[in-house]
Structure 1
Amino acid sequence: MSDDGLPPLRDVIAEHGLDARKSLGQHFLLDLNLTRRIARVAGDLGEHDTIEVGPGPGGLTRALLMEGAKRVVAVERDARASAALAEVGRAYAGRFSLVEADAMAVNEAEHITGPARIVANLPYNISTALLLKWLSLDPWPSWLVSMTLMFQKEVAERVVAAPGSKAYGRLSVISQWRTDAYMAFDVDPRAFTPPPKVMSSIVHMTPKVMGPDDPPLHAVEKVTAAAFGQRRKMLRASLKQVFQDPEAICEQVGIKPTERAERLTVDNFLALARLV
């Protein structure tokens, strides 16, 4: 038995036939010391509900509860996991709730009792889409207290990338506009069952409060899509699909029309978005 009185995760997987499925982007973490380390990155879990996506056999779920989570709301579309997660619910009566649904379609606000954190080992095939879904909450930051998320390291690097780097792009701009984000630590492929082919990383993101002069999200999305959609082109060319006279617009906000997207700061993009 583990520290929480529940069977070891390998036994849980064997008992319930929970082999990880590539079609669901599943890679399970079985080391409770590691999952508890992830849980601690999220901060004080006792004040708010915690939303988890893709719990699978419940490794991170159990770690969150062991680290004092007030209540964990787990969103899982794989019906095979229901019985295993029901055991977690019985062990932590009143502190666990399962939502059997596709995370992309769930309205999280309907399942929480107030502000909430998101802590998740995200399914790799929808990790970016899920992040953008949460970054699009309106009004911002709505109920969101923080996000502690595991991505493929390549995606994590895009989230925190600085201007001028190869990883810097639309995801970097929107993530860093909306949140303070940092990479907490890497997770070796050997920590997973089955091991993925790439390194993974934990990213912690804390929402920023938007100011009265912040542009609407759709304007930031429009400008970044145009600029990074043709990132090898100068802004005077790539922004033609947004502005009638991109050279004049760039000069108005103090940006060289001959600059390329990856050289612009987040504030530069916000300045352009205000003029959309």
Structure 2
Amino acid sequence: MLDLCKRIFLARRIRCSGAILLLAPILSFAQTSPAPVDVMIVGVFHMSNPGHDIHNMKVDDVLAPKRQSEISAVADALARFKPNKIAVEWSKDVVDERYPKYLAGTLPPSRNEVVQLGFRLAKVAGSKGVYGIDADGDFPYEPLKTYADAHGFGSLLKAQDDAIDRQVAEEERVLATKGISAELRLLNDPVRLKGGNAFYRTALRMGANDAQPGVDLLSAWYRRNFLICANLLQLSQPGDRIVVFYGAGHAFLLRQCVSETPGLRLVEANDYLQP
């Protein structure tokens, strides 16, 4: 009887030891895994009115004192996130040439959102630096429209365009009546961003057999956003806290890229922006 008890006791010790041995690598991995990268995507409107998009928002002078006060409040609010890097919709070369001038006070006044939001936040928050992550890309809309008009999809495409026009009108109203912070909150509402991306899925209906202008449009659009996200990932290091300022049309895909990438955590801009 005593020998049986010893055998049971020893068997339990062996199983327990095995569990400890199996658990040890897991604990070791947890202790040594890199710190996550927190990324806040801030979809923005084009403050300098470049008119480069199919649908363009009308913006008053952001250098006016009222708008400057609003932009300063936005920068202060986002600074609470404590970003150590700021990524913007300019090329690396342009940022590297202009940001030092901004810090030195020698950059000419600019209405561009990169300067007004990106450069300003980096200075206010004491960030490590500003990084240009833009990438060129085509947007073959005209072939899509030509196909749609010739194959009975004209009304479908017009309905999508009309919906975007209504969104732009709402953005102009919010900016005029509630200010820049409220406008940015509108642009970065996740539900609204998802709805805005519907155009690209609808475009896939426009085509047949070897003629696929909708696919061509999405392929070009997704490629550009993948390039942008690749630039973002390649500048990130464990423990970084990054704010990305980009045209709101890119926000849905950039948010998706961040949220689906291991090691990155998406931070909601609207948790920091004031109502």
Q: TM-score, normalised by structure 1?
A: 0.32
Structure number with greater Rg is 2
Higher helix share: 2
Structure with greater proportional strand content? 1
RCO greater where, 1 or 2, for CA within 8 Å and sep 6 or more? Answer: 2
